[in-house]
């Protein structure tokens, strides 16, 4: 039997940083609109904020997991350091996993499953905007197979996502081809 632990035992959970973007800023400011519904980054950060002591405490580290806790899209994404400092906006929870216990990409795979999203949809609330409380997120139980199994599951999730992306690209190309053929036949 695979043991389960609450997320709060596996990660440091904190809120993203709220700031007004500034054209003269040097720290990239991640927003949810830069991600697909499946949690893949589809656009680079296009807004920046100034670096100061408050911002410095919120700079993302390699393997931080971002989880959207507000709005109509729920997804998790694992940050990979890209050189310039990056801060997540306040729409995200920033999860800093204890990598001795949980593999970050495995955590992302688990948080992105339909079963997990359904569980979050049931516990979340909000009158106008859906939101999950930090305590509710922290109480969410994560199954913990061996680290080897976690890495295998993470690799499977990555391959699955790549396959989905390729299928979407193929559909887009087929639509373009179909449109071009119809257009040529009707001239």
Q: What's the pLDDT tens digit per position in 64-102?
A: 999 998 877 889 999 988 778 999 998 899 999 999 999
Q: Please say if the pLDDT value at position 15 is more than 80.
A: yes
- How many alpha carbons fall within 13 Å on the CB side of residue 23? 0
Q: What is the pTM of this model?
A: 0.85
Q: Please say if the pLDDT value at position 39 is more than 80.
A: no
CA 94 to chain CA centroid, nearest Å: 10
Instruction: Report pLDDT for 151.
Output: 96
pLDDT category of residue 176 using cuts at 50, 70 and 90: very high
Instruction: Report pLDDT for 128.
Output: 63
* Count of CB atoms situated within 10 Å of the CB of 25: 17
Of 52 and 144, which is predicted with more confidence?
Answer: 144
Instruction: Output the average pLDDT for the chain.
Output: 89
Q: DSSP H helical segments within the chain, as ranges?
A: 7-10, 53-56, 104-111, 114-123, 134-139, 147-185
* Count of CB atoms situated within 10 Å of the CB of 109: 22
Instruction: Report pLDDT for 74.
Output: 86
- Cβ atoms of 17 and 90 within 8 Å: the answer is yes
Instruction: Report pLDDT for 24.
Output: 79
Q: Please say if the pLDDT value at position 125 is more than 70.
A: no
Arithmetic mean of pLDDT, 117-122: 84
pLDDT category of residue 2 using cuts at 50, 70 and 90: confident
Instruction: Report pLDDT for 126.
Output: 57
CA 26 to chain CA centroid, nearest Å: 22
Residues 6+ apart with CB under 8 A from 3: 143, 144
Residues 6+ apart with CB under 8 A from 151: 103, 105, 106
b/e per residue, 120-139, with b = 16+ CB within 10 A? beeebeeeeebebeeebbbe
CA distance 51 to 124: 33
Instruction: Report pLDDT for 10.
Output: 97
CATH fold label, 3-145: Adenine-n6-DNA-methyltransferase TaqI; Chain A, domain 2 (3.90.220)
């Amino acid at each position: 039997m695979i043991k389960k632990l609450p997320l709060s035992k596996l990660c440091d959970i904190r809120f993203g940083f709220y700031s007004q973007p500034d054209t003269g800023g040097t720290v990239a400011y991640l927003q949810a609109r830069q991600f697909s519904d499946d949690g893949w980054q589809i656009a680079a950060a296009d807004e920046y904020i100034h670096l100061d002591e408050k911002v410095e405490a919120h700079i993302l580290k390699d393997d931080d997991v971002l989880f959207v806790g507000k709005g109509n899209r729920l997804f998790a994404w694992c940050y990979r350091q890209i050189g310039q400092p990056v801060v997540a906006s306040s729409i995200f929870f920033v999860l800093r996993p204890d990598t001795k216990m949980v593999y970050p990409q495995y955590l992302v795979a688990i948080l992105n499953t339909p079963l997990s999203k359904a569980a979050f949809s049931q516990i979340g609330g909000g009158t106008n905007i859906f939101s999950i409380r930090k305590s509710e997120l922290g109480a969410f139980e994560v199954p913990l197979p061996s680290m080897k199994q976690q890495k295998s599951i993470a690799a499977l999730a990555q391959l699955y996502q790549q396959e989905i992306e390729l299928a979407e690209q193929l559909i887009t190309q087929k639509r373009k081809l179909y449109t071009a053929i119809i257009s040529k036949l009707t001239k």
